[in-house]
A and B are shown apart, each in its own frame.
Chain A
């Protein structure tokens, strides 16, 4: 009769998964990835918003026609419209301009509605008229020349190429981006620090087993690889749960932002690649954990034994 094969289950030499530092590491990485995902989503959204602004602003400009000061409202309106037509003539004859359209009464009413409320007749108010000018792709406009030509046609026109407020917004957005990147750096440092200390604690807990492994001829690398593998698994698990909480939070913030009117925030969308970056955070945290644990073990064992 043939002998039944004996089933031999192999246990890990270092029972790292079950030691007391594991849960702490998972929670730390989970929190880090949660914060990381939200901040990263913010940075990427700000970035896309900046790109959108740049594209749209570089391709457009606004010409403002000051209202006539005539006491008679009807005459004043007619004079303002006449000035607007002269400006339009100049603009439409320029090679760099693709399209020049005055804002309709309805559009103007919508613009002043937040200040003056509903039911305002734009016709009776001495407010400036606005021409929205779309430039041809890659057009290089000489703004001084444009301003001169418009001044020749009508003294009531002024050009706004949006550069002033755009620069302010870009500076503000750059500041936000820098702040977000600082948070990201801080989160990475805290995660690495947590892994460093949990690994050191765990090395202390398993000092006896490690000393036996050394006596059996194990190199530091043998121990370091086990820690690297364990940290990568724990960090991935922690990171996965962090992301599970982070994603709905990002959607929540995004839907709140969508409700803000004005069209600025709505341009802050995330591309497919942005989402891929955010979703890959648990893998990134696993890699950081693996590298940190590996070198912590190598460095600590040098000093310890």
Chain B
């Protein structure tokens, strides 16, 4: 037991002792009042009167019972009243009991039977469970026996001559009883002590329990508050969940291991055209067609078996002929042990998105078509321009040929022929004697030389004309090639593409004295849609030419670079033209953006789109106005799939 515990046990023990003292005091108070009254009654009964002849008086025994008995017993009763439980009180009681017993012994002439009063009183005194009281009583009765046994032995022993040690015998018997009483008291005190210790221990346990209860109560209160908070949070969460699950345009369901619906939200019911009561507990067969149910069962079984989630899009035809589209996510339901106990799914209604996508795709397609047509127009313009230029050459060549033919000396030959026909009969003489005849050979020689020269000139012009016609053919073929709408991918040398684009701008570049610088690195063929690349490059080269024109500088120059690496091809067109302000770099590819009066802001936008469609990119760089610009087309070397 701890110090505090032993202290509490001692306190409880003292408390119990004090209660015993009080209780025994009260017992003795009643006993002594009874003794006093009984003594009086006995005195009155046995010897009420004493006589002198015929005259009677109240017997002195009666007075002794009243007054001496009252004095002996009254004082301790007064102490019990005034000082209950005090040491002096119980020792005074002990003294009074022994003296009263002595009085009785004396009044009964030392009758041995009366001595039992002492033992009875000792037994009563033992009720105090205070051995000291017995000692006091023993000392008092021993002294009484000793004194009266010495002085008046007949008053205590009933004999006139008693042994001087007889008091010791009587005291010995008293002590003999004391021994048992003290042992009993000790045992009783030990029991009391044990009880006190047990009670202290119980109190300590109780206190501990009280503390624990208090702490636990506080914890419970706290936990309760936390639980209420958690419940509120849970309720809010549930409300949120309910709001989300029930109000968002999503269908939610959950199935048990056997594929029976165990939860469906209202939208799911709405889409299925059934109530939750009609769906819950049923399998998919109850709400969808047999084929869909079979598919659903397969998916459920797959999820149950593999634990894998799956995502797909599903289409549900509606009675009005429209279709609803859903993005469906199906995933397993696991219990706390991680075991799959069912499946669940969320259907996101993507009908609007699908419709928007379809519309977007249509717009995109239209845009692409417009872009393509626009690009084709650009190319056609270039082509027509080039064809026009070539036609000039054709025209010049045709004119020259016509002039040559018109001014040909062939007519002179006909004159010679006519002269020879005139002298047909006398040709030799004519040649030999006629002065004109003599000049004919020489004339013919000169004419022949002239005609040969003329023929050469005509042939040369015809060659030029043929070349121009071929050029026109090529340009037209290129246009036809570009105008093809098929998405055929071709593996083409990058340099050829660049050269084609240059050729399509060749006239303009030549006319404006733009110096071309080619810096072509060795690159592998590129798998692209030719017309798209040409569209972009024609655009870039023409823009570069315009930029050089606008700069009005004599050393107009366009640098074309082809580089490769990291699986990508870079084709850059760098001019030393007017350059691009920084603020325009961010919007230069935007639809409708242009800095040229005759521009429509579509070329770069459609080029950027085309580059992106091919998995590449188109970027612009300029250090600022007057510092030229570089446009770089970057394309992947291999492209397996092509976006529309």
Pair from one complex? no
Residues of B within 8 A of A (CB): none
